[in-house]
Amino acid sequence: MKGIIVVNAFDCGKNVMYKANRMSDSFSRRGVQTKIVPNDRFLAVVGEGGKVGLNTDADFAVYLDKDKYVQYLLEKAGIAVFNSARSTELCDDKMMTHIALVNHGIDMPMTLGGALCYSGESQLKEEYLKYIADTLGLPLVVKSCYGSYGQQVHLAENYSTLKEIASRLKNSATLFQRYVKESHGKDMRVIVVGGKAVAWMTRRSEIDFRSNVEAGGKGYVCDLPDSFRRIAEKSAEILQLDFCGADILFGKDGPLLCEANSNAMIGEAERVTEVDIADCYVNHILNKLNYGAGGRH
C-alpha cells in the first residue's frame, strides 16, 4: 500500500513539514511508504471524456491542506482521503462549521453571518451595524470565515471599530460573534483522532485576546473536564473528522465550541502533552484502511 501526504505548495513552513515528516516516519515504521507531495502537482483533474484524470498511483492520501478541489477529485477517483473533502470544507469556513453544529447540543458563542456585499462602493447601513452591536454587545468579535493562526480574527472594542472592520471586510465572507470575555487570551485545544480526544492543552497569551500559538500564545498541560471532552468529540463526530484540533472557549456557564481545525498543527501539542499525535493519526488511518488486519498488501 502506498500513500501520499499532501501539503500546501506555498505555505509549507516548518510547522507543516514537522507534521508531514512525523506522519511519514510513523507510516514507514509500520511498513507503509508515503511521499510528501505539494498540492500544485495536479494530482487529480477533470480529465478527457468527463472522467477524473489521476497523476498519482497512491492508494490513500493524507491531506494536510485545505485546498479542496484536488481533495474532492481524489475521492471521486476512489482514493481514500483523510480528512474527507467535505469535512475539510465545513471546517475551512468558520460560519459553515457553526451551521453544521447548530441544533446538535453543541454550545457556541452567539454568531451572526455577515451579509455578503458584492460592490466596493456600497456603504454598510447604520441599521445593519446597530443590529449587530445591539444583539451581540460590545466589544464583539469579527472573523473572516476563512482564516488561520488568529490572523483574520478581530476584536471590535467599540462601534466605530466595528464599522471600520466590517466595512473593510464587507466583500468577503465574515461572521460577527459574541465576545466571550471569560476566555480572554485563553482557550483549550483538544486534538481528536478517530472520534476520541487524544491530547489537550490550554493555550494562554499574555499579549492578546487570541490564544493562538502563532500569535504569541503558549500551550500548558491541563486536565480535560468531561464537558470539554464531550463537546470536542461530539463536534468531530458531527463534522465526520478523522482528525481535528477543536478550539474551545471558557464560557461562564461551560465550554463553547469556537472552531474545529481539520488541519491543526501538532508541534506545540506534542511538546506540551508528550503524546505522539502523529502516530495516533497514522494508527487511525491504517485501521480505517484495514491495514494489518488481514488487509496488509
Ligand X SMILES: Nc1ncnc2c1ncn2[C@@H]1O[C@H](COP(=O)(O)OP(=O)(O)O)[C@@H](O)[C@H]1O
Q: Which residues bind ligand X (CB under 6 A)?
A: 94, 109, 141, 143, 147-150, 153, 177-180, 183, 187, 209-212, 247, 249, 258-259
Cα(190)–Cα(248) distance, rounded to whole angstroms? 8
Nearer to Mg ion, 170 or 210 (CB): 210
* Nearest distance from C-beta of residue 13 to Mg ion, angstroms: 17
Interactions with Mg ion, residue window 248-287 (CB under 5 A): 259
- Given Mg ion, ligand X, none, residue 220, with its beta carbon under 5 to 8 Å by kind, binds none
Largest CA distance in the chain: 65
* Nearest distance from C-beta of residue 249 to ligand X, angstroms: 6
Contact residue for Mg ion among 75, 242, 247, 279 (CB under 5 A): 247
Cα(90)–Cα(10) distance, rounded to whole angstroms? 22
- Given Mg ion, ligand X, none, residue 262, with its beta carbon under 5 to 8 Å by kind, binds none
* Nearest distance from C-beta of residue 85 to ligand X, angstroms: 19
Nearer to Mg ion, 22 or 189 (CB): 189
* Nearest distance from C-beta of residue 146 to Mg ion, angstroms: 12
* Nearest distance from C-beta of residue 209 to Mg ion, angstroms: 12
Asked if 65 is part of the footprint of Mg ion (rule: CB under 5 A), the reply reads no
Nearer to ligand X, 211 or 273 (CB): 211
* Nearest distance from C-beta of residue 31 to ligand X, angstroms: 36
Binding mask 5-34 for Mg ion (x = CB under 5 A): ------------------------------
Residues engaged in binding Mg ion (CB under 5 A): 247, 259
